[in-house]
Chains A and B, each alone.
Chain A
Amino acid sequence: TQLLEQSPQFLSIQEGENLTVYCNSSSVFSSLQWYRQEPGEGPVLLVTVVTGGEVKKLKRLTFQFGDARKDSSLHITAAQPGDTGLYLCAGAGNQFYFGTGTSLTVIP
């Protein structure tokens, strides 16, 4: 059973388009992290959100933590080929729970 469901599972878009990835759960988390992983490598931490309703921006990436600290979203503006990768959300509870992952491909 996955505590964190991500959608969509796969996303293929053209360079310059915008996109949003969702991470949903029925559980409350003390914090939530977003990672990007490239083939054959470990996930790289992008951001941590802690407070319900919190919004964090990292250049073209905007992360939001839901008011109830159960869900989160990642919005990418003007996607670039370098954004290609597997995006994972992870919630901190009595252990770290990872989402099902969103595989993003940005086509030049």
Chain B
Amino acid sequence: KAGVTQTPRYLIKTRGQQVTLSCSPISGHRSVSWYQQTPGQGLQFLFEYFSETQRNKGNFPGRFSGRQFSNSRSEMNVSTLELGDSALYLCASSLAGTSGRGAQDEQFFGPGTRLTVL
């Protein structure tokens, strides 16, 4: 069973540009969550998509957006990049996401996309 894949693995952008990151979840998983990880803030929740609908959103500005397609693949977009957006962006898939059903909440992470903003 293939794991979660993220593309690209590394990305270098300059301030003001925009970027789109892609995530393909494990087959059969309908929930995709995105996280930003930095040394200072740790893992911060961005948003969760379930069946093409955004179900939860973290405390990030509107420059961060996402979407999910009918095949559960998800994309995350960051517009008007700032230096502080440099981070490891992680995608995680699960069967049902935050369903409250215990073991079905298990998340499986991709390797991440390392974004550097110059």
Instruction: Report if A45-B58 is in contact (Cβ < 8 Å); known contacts: A98-B45, A100-B42.
Output: no
Pick the residue among A2, A30, A42, A50 that contacts B109 (CB under 8 A): A42
Closest to A2 in B: B42
Decide if A50 touches B90 in the complex (CB within 8 Å): no
Partner of B111, one of A30, A35, A41, A95: A41
Nearest A residue to B107 by beta-carbon distance?
A: A96
In the complex with contacts A94-B56, A100-B42, A42-B90 CB distance below 8 A: yes
Convert A78-89 into 0s and 1s, putting 1 for each residue whose CB lies closer than 8 angstroms to a CB of B. 000000000010
Of chain B, the residue at the smallest CB distance from A88 is B43
Query: A43 touches which one: B56, B90, B98, B101 (CB < 8 A)?
Result: B90
- A5 → B minimal CB distance (Å): 11
For A94, list chain B residues within 8 Å (CB). 56, 98
> Which residue on B lies nearest to A99, using beta carbons?
B42
Q: Given the complex, which residues of A lie within 8 Å of B106, measured CB to CB?
A: 31, 33, 45, 48
Q: Please determine whether B114 and A96 come into contact, CB atoms closer than 8 angstroms.
A: no
A-B contact count (CB 8 A): 71
Q: Which residues 1-59 of B have a CB within 8 angstroms of A?
A: 4, 33, 35, 42-45, 48, 56, 58
Closest to B112 in A: A42
Query: What is the minimal beta-carbon distance from A88 to any residue of chain B, in angstroms?
Result: 7
Contacts of A30 in B (CB 8 A): 100-102, 105
Residue of A nearest to B106 (CB): A48
CB pairs A–B below 8 angstroms (14 shown): A31-B106, A33-B107, A40-B88, A40-B114, A43-B43, A43-B109, A48-B105, A94-B98, A95-B58, A96-B33, A96-B45, A96-B48, A96-B92, A98-B44
